[in-house]
């Protein structure tokens, strides 16, 4: 059992470490996949002045945004968290930039 857990941990760490990630700045979590001025894709983002984030969001936030491949819609799965607490929020945008957030972790 220990061997299986150790092997799994090594496999996961190798996959994670081999990925290149770039954290980009994006203040509006409700942006559709494509707008006239910005192309928004799946990725890791940080926000300085968050808009369309959980209620009361201000200052610095993290955003993990997984987008639908069709650029004609605004469907995405999002996880968000503040730099300053341990709360984790989740939502599916469901083609609306103002879809409400649900607290997952306190």
Per-residue pLDDT tens listing for the chain (106 residues): 566 566 656 655 555 555 556 788 899 998 876 655 566 678 899 999 999 999 989 889 999 999 877 777 788 899 999 988 889 999 998 888 889 999 997 7
Is there a domain that residue 3 lies in? no
Is there a domain that residue 7 lies in? no
How many domains, the chain? 1
**pLDDT the model gives residue 81:** 94
**pLDDT the model gives residue 20:** 57
Give the distance, in angstroms, between the CA of residue 78 and the centroid of all CA atoms in the same chain. Answer: 4
**pLDDT the model gives residue 104:** 92
Is there a domain that residue 5 lies in? no
Is there a domain that residue 50 lies in? yes
Is there a domain that residue 8 lies in? no
Token digits of residue 64: 């993990």
Is there a domain that residue 13 lies in? no
Token digits of residue 41: 């894709």
Is there a domain that residue 10 lies in? no
Q: Show the domain range for 27.
A: 22-105
């Amino acid at each position: 059992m220990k061997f299986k857990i150790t092997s799994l941990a090594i496999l996961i760490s190798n996959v994670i470490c081999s990925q290149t990630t770039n954290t980009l700045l994006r203040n509006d979590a409700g942006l559709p996949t494509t707008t006239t001025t910005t192309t928004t894709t799946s990725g890791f983002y940080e926000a300085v002045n968050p808009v369309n984030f959980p209620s009361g969001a201000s200052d610095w936030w993290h955003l993990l945004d997984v987008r639908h491949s069709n650029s004609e819609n605004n469907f995405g799965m999002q996880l968000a968290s503040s730099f300053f607490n341990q709360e984790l929020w989740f939502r599916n945008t469901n083609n609306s930039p103002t879809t409400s957030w649900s607290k997952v972790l306190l």
